[in-house]
Amino acid sequence: EAYLKAIDEANPKLNAYVAVTADQARQMAVASDEKLAKGQGGPLEGLPLGIKDLFGTKGVHTQAASHILDSFKPEYESTVTSNLWRDGAVMLGKLNMDEFAMGSSNETSYYGPVISPWRAEGSNLDLVPGGSSGGSAAAVAAWLCAGATATDTGGSIRQPAAFTGTVGIKPTYGRCSRWGVVAFASSLDQAGPIARTVEDNALMLQSMAGFDPKDSTSVEMAVPDFAAAVERGVKGLVIGVPREYRMDGMPAEIEKLWQQGLEWLKAEGATVRDISLPNTKYALPAYYIVAPAEASSNLARYDGVKYGLRETGKDITDLYELSRAAGFGREVKRRVMIGTYVLSAGYYDAYYVQAQKVRTLIKRDFELAFQAGVDAILTPATPSAAFGIGDEDMKADPVKMYLNDVFTVTVNMAGLPGIAVPAGKDGKGLPLGLQLIGKPFDEETLFAAARVIE
């Protein structure tokens, strides 16, 4: 009831929820109370969570914040949310996001932007919460849920977490099932939690993760005890510092934050080593070929016939065209056009195949660093703190918006786990985050190291 009241009060301003499932939440909470009274509560019994609108929730609003999925309510429940309900969690509602998870500011949503609960000191300017999981991050930061599900294709868990002073982990590719989650770029998409602490993140991931025969890329591997790893400490760990992440023109406060993070890890017994990840500079351009290519293919299914919005046309082709024209927003159309272009005959080898080769090189950079004894890598999470809604620079040039992901996309390209953890504030009191990158399926080390920084 406290969370529902908080949502009622704050959501008209923040726009974090696109649907509130109050009746269902109350029913689930009563069932949780009964289980707890009998001593049969699950590990998350009664915990009220928000769910990103990308996750299929049976009979409940699931539109990926797009007009084209108008009124769509799936007949199925995603594996990740099923796992959370199995463990006792309670759903408060569905969270706003960038349309089809394409964006870094939550401004591409059909439902309008999410407003961050943060303000810069001495300013009343509305700030973005980051994206695409902007609703998830804002809801957690404003105490409109105890934790939220999110997804990350190029940074959409870690960048909004960094902008809102929350913690978010993108697990190793294959750790969480993608079944029942609306697909953006299938070889990059991963689900993960956004929560207020590292420990909450560990508890949520414990429940969300696990092998699922319904997702052929889900990995058949036991889920470790993540909560136990949180207090493990960093004594003896080798922390890599990639020199290519020291970008030209990086704000001094980000550099300072990074050094401070390294000092904290050293003080707890870690050693720090300079490393090189030479192909870093190609990650963003390669991502913006691979992700749109996969998106253009995944989004072909929205044709006005199978789901949601349908415009009437004079014939079937006309119906497809009118439905897609009316149903998709500008950024989604831009991605579909880039994707079909790089996959088209004549350009496929020059762009798509080349980007796949670059992806292998990026993955190899990380493999070499880990083989040389590095246990985890520390970098900034974002190149700046949160910016204003409707930022003129970013509006004028989509590539400026894409630069938000410069530190995070490498991790998706390589399939590695990455966590964003709040580490300090900028000169105006806005949160700044650091990122830890781990070996495949070694989320435990990330939780332990993030705990030292938070």
Query: DSSP letter string over 299-365?
Result: GGG-SSSSSS-----SSHHHHHHHHHHHHS-HHHHHHHHHHHHHHSTTTIIIIIIHHHHHHHHHHHH
Among 11, 66, 96, 104, interactor with ligand GLN by CB under 6 A: 104
Nearest in space to 64 (alpha carbons), one of 109, 11, 19: 109
| Of residues 103 and 304, the one with the C-beta less far from ligand GLN | 103
Annotation marks residue 133 as catalytic: no
- Give the contact letters, 363-402, x = binds to ligand GLN (CB under 6 A), - = no: ----------------------------------------
Q: Which residues inside 156-215 make contact with ligand GLN, applying CB under 6 A?
A: 156, 184
One-letter amino acid for residue 119 of the chain: R
Which listed residue (132, 177, 207, 323) is catalytic? 132
* The one catalytic residue among 52, 94, 170, 439: 52
- Both tokens of 359, joined, read 């992806």
Contacts with 288 (C-beta within 8 Å, 6 or more apart), sequence order:
338, 402
- Please give the Cα distance from 147 to 128 (Å, whole number): 19
Going by their DSSP bridges, the two strands 167-170 and 90-95 should be labelled as unpaired
Residues of span 133-152 touching ligand GLN by CB under 6 A = 152
132 carries an active-site annotation: yes
User: With CB under 6 A as the contact rule, which of the stretches 100-108, 138-146, 197-205, 321-329 interacts with ligand GLN?
Assistant: 100-108
For residue 136, the minimal CB distance to ligand GLN (Å) is 11
For ligand GLN, the binding residue among 47, 80, 89, 101 (CB under 6 A) is 101
Nearest alpha-carbon partner for 324 in 343, 339, 337: 337
For the record, the structure tokens of 299 come out as 């989004």
Judged by CB under 6 A, how many residues of this single chain contact ligand GLN?
Answer: 13
296 belongs to the catalytic site: no
102/277 with CB nearer ligand GLN: 102
**Min dist. Cβ of residue 404 to ligand GLN (A):** 6
Rule CB under 6 A: say whether 405 interacts with ligand GLN: yes
Strand 271-275 and strand 190-195: the pairing is unpaired
| 331 C-beta neighbours (distance < 10 Å), count | 18
Q: Which residues are catalytic?
A: 52, 132, 156
Contact residues toward ligand GLN (CB under 6 A) are: 101-104, 132, 152-156, 184, 291, 405
